[in-house]
Amino acid sequence: MSILVLGSGQLARMMALSAYPLGISVQAVDVADNKIIDPVTKQAINDTLEQLLGEVDAITVEFEHIPEDLLELAHRSGKLKPSVESVLTGADRVREKKLLEKLHIANCPFSIVTDVAQLDAAVESLGEKLIIKASRDGYDGYGQWRLQNKADLPKLKEQLSELDLNKVPLVVEKMLQFDRELSLVAVRSADGEMAYYPLAENLHHQGQLHVSVAPATNINDDLTSQAQTIFNKLAESLDYVGVLAVEFFQLGEQLLVNEIAPRVHNSGHWTMHGADTCQFENHIRAVRGLPLGSTKVTSPTAMINIIGCKNFAREMLSIPGCHLHWYGKAPREKRKMGHFNLCAEDYQQLGKSMLALTEYVPAEYFPMLKDEAQRLIDFDTKQN
Ligand code: ATP
Ligand code: MG
């Protein structure tokens, strides 16, 4: 059995690592040149793309920004899961917003801008604090601009006037004062069975995910049910197969959708050690038509991204429940180099392990770690 992944980064690698025990091999396409590589060893594989499209049992994606011709080839093979529509929706914020509206799913107030002159009207209707997002090819906060006050609008317009907004429109959103960010990672099988991981709480810094804690603290049944209902609507409407992530802003007791990701997701990496079956294995099971695995939580877990940081000594592995995933990529500023998963018996212990981790890693790359550790310790102390 074999699966072809479009994209050859760390997500393809983690899918491959969880597929092998099931007797499923995974090859990856480097979308820059359509060469085939082993996503774990990064060695070139001699098979051609055409050969593999015919031979493999299923084709999936590790990210949504797949070149059009490659996506079309995969779609035409009849083996692409999730569907081409799902991938295109995740790749295009205008399409995504239209789907959310069609399904009456609460999301962030927005307007679509195809000419910088329309930004004045956007400020009038949404207010002067805005987040402006390129509708395609953005990730990790790239392709985004922030407007803090009206006075900065002329400067921003000048900057944006260099873009071809007819080709790639902007989605202009009201900058929300949300209480926190949560995400739901869940999976739908080919016969429509769903399995949900618990909501994770996500901490961002400069538009990039730094820490996820799962299960999120302070979750009630209503929040879980809102999130799962939204997932069901999206997954059913897209006839989705595989793992789908939904990012939320929580305002009071309401969840608004920020965006969706038609793939395994960074805020689901905690499942590699904190859940019975990890998101990567469940995605592989789903796209291969196998029964889904249990999403039961085995321990509270914190996932801590290693961002822009060069290699370091591995002494932190002495912390009980500390697991490291080092992706083996060339270091670059703001690049995701790897992640830690810290598992513990309860939030008190989890907070203490996170504090212990701060002793081993350079503080400037982990700006959220210490405060979040203390918050978890305080949360647990108050509970007991
Ligand atoms: P990623 O690839 O990490 O998911 P992205 O580039 O796709 O990021 P978004 O998820 O849209 O972009 O935005 C990144 C972060 O910026 C959000 O997680 C949130 O912290 C902040 N953000 C985005 N939109 C808004 C908004 N309308 N109001 C307030 N904050 C926002
Ligand atoms: Mg996001």
pLDDT in tens, 329-368: 999 999 999 999 999 999 999 999 999 999 999 999 999 9
Distance of CA 258 from the midpoint of ligand 1 (Å):
7
Query: Which of 131, 139, 257, 260 should be mutated for ligand 1, with most atoms under 8 A from CB?
Result: 131
Q: What pLDDT was estimated at residue 264?
A: 98
Confirm whether 167 is domain-assigned: yes
Residue 102's closest CA among 233, 244, 225, 243?
233
Q: What is the CATH number of the domain that holds 331?
A: 3.30.470.20
The answer to whether residues 145 and 265 belong to one domain is no
Question: In this predicted model, what pLDDT tens digit does every residue of 180-191 receive, in sequence order?
Answer: 999 999 999 999
Stronger pLDDT, 179 or 139, i.e. the higher one: 179
The answer to whether residues 319 and 333 belong to one domain is yes
Q: What pLDDT was estimated at residue 138?
A: 74
Confirm whether 124 is domain-assigned: yes
pLDDT bracket for residue 266 (50, 70, 90): very high
The answer to whether residues 164 and 212 belong to one domain is no
| Among protein residues, the one whose CA lies closest to atom 12 of ligand 1 | 141
Confirm whether 128 is domain-assigned: yes
What is the Cα Rg of the chain in Å?
Answer: 21
Q: What pLDDT was estimated at residue 271?
A: 99
pLDDT at 295 over 90: yes
The answer to whether residues 163 and 72 belong to one domain is no
Of 59, 80, 101, which residue constitutes the final position of a domain?
80
- The overall average pLDDT reported for the chain is 97
Are 185 and 267 in contact by the 8 Å Cβ rule? The answer is yes
pLDDT at 139 over 80: no
C-alpha pair distances (Å), 191 with each of 24, 197, 246, 281: 20, 19, 21, 17
Over residues 96-111, the mean pLDDT reads: 98
**Which DSSP state fits 112?**
E
Q: What pLDDT was estimated at residue 183?
A: 99
Over residues 170-187, the mean pLDDT reads: 98
**Which DSSP state fits 5?**
E
Question: In this predicted model, what pLDDT tens digit does every residue of 5-50 receive, in sequence order?
Answer: 999 999 999 999 999 999 999 999 999 999 999 999 999 999 999 9
Pocket of ligand 1 (CB under 6 A): 108, 131, 133, 138-141, 173, 175-176, 181, 204, 207-209, 247, 258-259
Any idea which ligand is nearest the CA of 137? 1
Q: What pLDDT was estimated at residue 6?
A: 98
Confirm whether 101 is domain-assigned: no
Kindly report which listed range (41-50, 140-149, 244-253, 327-336) carries the lowest average pLDDT score: 140-149
The answer to whether residues 344 and 267 belong to one domain is yes
- How far apart CA 145 and CA 326 sit, in angstroms, is 30
Query: Which of 144, 170, 265, 368 should be mutated for ligand 1, with most atoms under 8 A from CB?
Result: 144
Confirm whether 278 is domain-assigned: yes
Stronger pLDDT, 175 or 143, i.e. the higher one: 175
Beta-carbon count within 10 A of 61 CB: 31
pLDDT at 66 over 80: yes
> Which atom of ligand 1 approaches the CA of 175 most closely?
28
C-alpha pair distances (Å), 280 with each of 174, 187, 283, 303: 34, 10, 5, 15
Of 29, 60, 80, which residue constitutes the final position of a domain?
80
Any idea which ligand is nearest the CA of 249? 1
Confirm whether 370 is domain-assigned: yes
Confirm whether 219 is domain-assigned: yes
Q: What is the CATH number of the domain that holds 121?
A: 3.30.1490.20
Q: Which domain holds residue 164?
A: 109-174
Total count of domains within the chain: 3
pLDDT at 141 over 90: no
The answer to whether residues 57 and 146 belong to one domain is no
Distance of CA 141 from the midpoint of ligand 1 (Å):
6
Q: What is the CATH number of the domain that holds 25?
A: 3.40.50.20
Confirm whether 27 is domain-assigned: yes
The answer to whether residues 341 and 201 belong to one domain is yes
- How far apart CA 307 and CA 209 sit, in angstroms, is 9
pLDDT bracket for residue 285 (50, 70, 90): very high
The answer to whether residues 129 and 222 belong to one domain is no
pLDDT bracket for residue 384 (50, 70, 90): confident
**Given the structure tokens 């069609």, which residue do they identify?**
102
pLDDT at 148 over 80: yes
Q: What pLDDT was estimated at residue 137?
A: 86
- The pTM (predicted TM-score) of the whole model is 0.97
Question: In this predicted model, what pLDDT tens digit does every residue of 299-326 receive, in sequence order?
Answer: 999 999 999 998 889 999 999 999 999 9
Any idea which ligand is nearest the CA of 141? 1
pLDDT bracket for residue 131 (50, 70, 90): very high
Over residues 230-257, the mean pLDDT reads: 98
Over residues 65-89, the mean pLDDT reads: 98
The answer to whether residues 184 and 264 belong to one domain is yes
| Among protein residues, the one whose CA lies closest to atom 17 of ligand 1 | 207
Of 155, 174, 193, which residue constitutes the final position of a domain?
174
Q: What pLDDT was estimated at residue 311?
A: 81
Question: In this predicted model, what pLDDT tens digit does every residue of 359-378 receive, in sequence order?
Answer: 999 999 999 999 999 999 99
Is residue 220 exposed (0-12), middle (13-18) or buried (19+ Cβ within 10 Å)? Answer: exposed
The answer to whether residues 31 and 72 belong to one domain is yes
The answer to whether residues 199 and 241 belong to one domain is yes
Q: What pLDDT was estimated at residue 105?
A: 98
Residue 330's closest CA among 316, 311, 313, 315?
311
Q: What pLDDT was estimated at residue 109?
A: 97
Q: What pLDDT was estimated at residue 17?
A: 98
The answer to whether residues 125 and 27 belong to one domain is no
